[in-house]
Structure 1
Amino acid sequence: MNTELFSKVDNYISSLLAVEDEALKNTIASLNNNRIPQQSISPNQGKFLQVLIKACNAKNALELGTLGGYSTIWIARALAEDGKVITLEFDEHHAKVAQENIDNAGLSHKVEIMVGKALDILPSLIADQIAPFDFIFIDADKPPYAKYFEFALKLARKGTIIVCDNVIREGKVLDKNSDDEKVKGVQILNEMLSENNKVTSIILQTVGVKEYDGMVVAVVN
């Protein structure tokens, strides 16, 4: 793969259509400063989420996997002024850094970080009748991806857009004998979607500064 070319084209696109402001740049810098892995989405992927959010006229969004708040900022900015993002993060340290970045971006009024295991929090969102969400972004630990998606469906409405990141894993999903738990997790999701009539879905291959991967994009029927 010509990764150098992919990165150059990715940077070309972002320089035109997905320019990072200081809040986004500072969020990326904060990860290094706080020893958090650089696993955020790219600027172009952030803008892609914004396009989808605008397409479904989303007001309420749910995110699984906050990390440092980079994707959260992209999502929150695309919502209506009275919109809200609930974002779930397992790691307390990550959540603390993310809150600082969200505050610095002036988005505290739009974002609520809930700390804990997503599989524990999601049932409570259902029980508390927080749903429906108009847009759901799943970018958390990969082994339970199919379970996350099933919860997402319970928290969605007709027309809700659900996006799942990192589902191609540099082509490793083709290895049916993989013993990588992350690969297995996304394989289960991808295969489940092939038989799921509750959504209309596709997997988009992605290349660029984040190298080679893919995203599920699904619309609830």
Structure 2
Amino acid sequence: MTRDKHDFKKVVPFAFLIFTIAEFIPVLAYFFPSSLPRNVLTYSQKRKLIEKRDSIRIQIHTHINNSAKTNKGSDNAPLISQRDFINSTNARLVSKKYASSFDLSKTADFKTAKLMCKFFGLSSIGTFSMLKSRLAAHATFLRTDDSLLFKDLDSTVAGLSTVQLIEACDSRGIPTTNFSFPHLKNSLVGWVQFSNSFSTIEPGFYLWSRIFLLSKIPTTN
């Protein structure tokens, strides 16, 4: 897997922190763990951080799905729902039908951009354009990582340690709290196969697919 650029951006300020207020690092790790590179956090601190993110993900997923249910078509069925992302055939149809809705550059709602950042564990601090750029960069990073994993998917995923598997799922917005190791493997494999079934994929659609799916494993049917 490729190196997480978001961690790299934290290295310089963290190095400065070590030489200035090292005694406050444990405090930061407890109250603001996302402000530190992941490799300086203990396993327990990482788990608490991920559990908090998973809780936020569930809330966002529920909010988005409930909001989607209010937008109904002529048949009184929701225009978009989780089932539209459960397999690649349905996903292609909805991505074409609502292409402009999934285009990050056309996102007009600042609150939505903040929610999306929180879902993927990204900083939600900054201007509207900064948040959209952050989301686009994260989608591109994950898409590249998906392509690398896909080249030798089964053996690569089988070789991941528990920590590596959790981090791979977490970066993609796949909940890991209270899920078994085999389930997480299947979730990562299923998502990578789904992602690579598209020759091209709009960053916004990539991210929205994960938000709608949450812990559901998509197929390439």
Relative to the length of structure 1, the TM-score reads: 0.26
Relative to the length of structure 2, the TM-score reads: 0.26
Kindly indicate whether structure 1 or structure 2 has the higher relative contact order, using CA contacts under 8 Å at least 6 residues apart: 2
Q: Which has the higher helix share?
A: 2
